[in-house]
C-alpha cells in the first residue's frame, strides 16, 4: 500500500491523484495545514507563479520531508524552462528524488508512468538515491 500526499490549487493535481487512486487503491491524501504525517509516501505538487514551489507545499515539507520517498510535479509546458519546476526545486532543496513531471492533470500515459515509477523504482532505494531522478 502506497501513500501519496498531494497539493492542488486548481484541481489539476487532484484529478491526477483521483486517476491514480482509482487504478491502484493507494491512499491519496490532500495536504492540509498542520497535517501530521505518519507513513512514508510520495509527494505530488503543482508549480505556481513562474516556477515556484507553493507555500502550502513548503509548509508541509517542514514537518514531512523525512517521510517522503519522491516528489512529482505538475505544470504547464507554456512556461518553457519553468515547466513543473517546483518538483526540481523540492528535489534540490530537500534531497528528495524527482520521480515525474507532468502537464496539468496528466494524460493516461502520465498516470501509468507515475504508477510504474512508484511500484518499481523506490523499493530498496535509499531515500537520497538519484535512481529516480530521470524526469529532467
CA dihedral (54, 71, 111, 77) positive or negative: positive
Domains of the chain by residue range: 3-121
DSSP code of 84?
T
Helices (H) and strands (E) in the chain, counts: 4, 5
120-132 pLDDT, tens per residue? 764 333 333 344 4
39-92 pLDDT, tens per residue? 999 999 999 888 899 999 999 999 999 999 999 999 888 888 888 899 999 999
Say if domain 3-121 classifies as CATH 3.40.50.360: yes
C-alpha cell at 29: 491524501
Amino acid at each position: 500500500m502506497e501513500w501519496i500526499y498531494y497539493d492542488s490549487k486548481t484541481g489539476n493535481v487532484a484529478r491526477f491523484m483521483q486517476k491514480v487512486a482509482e487504478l491502484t487503491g493507494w491512499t491519496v491524501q490532500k495536504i492540509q495545514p498542520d497535517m501530521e504525517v505518519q507513513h512514508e509516501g510520495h509527494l505530488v505538487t503543482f508549480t505556481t507563479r513562474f516556477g515556484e514551489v507553493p507555500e502550502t507545499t513548503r509548509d508541509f515539507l517542514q514537518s514531512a520531508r523525512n517521510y517522503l520517498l519522491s516528489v512529482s510535479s505538475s505544470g504547464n509546458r507554456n512556461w518553457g524552462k519553468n515547466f513543473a519546476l517546483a518538483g526540481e526545486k523540492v528535489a534540490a532543496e530537500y534531497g528528495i528524488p524527482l520521480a515525474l513531471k507532468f502537464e496539468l492533470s496528466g494524460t493516461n500515459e502520465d498516470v501509468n508512468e507515475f504508477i510504474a515509477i512508484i511500484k518499481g523504482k523506490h523499493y530498496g532505494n535509499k531515500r537520497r538515491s538519484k535512481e529516480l531522478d530521470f524526469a529532467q
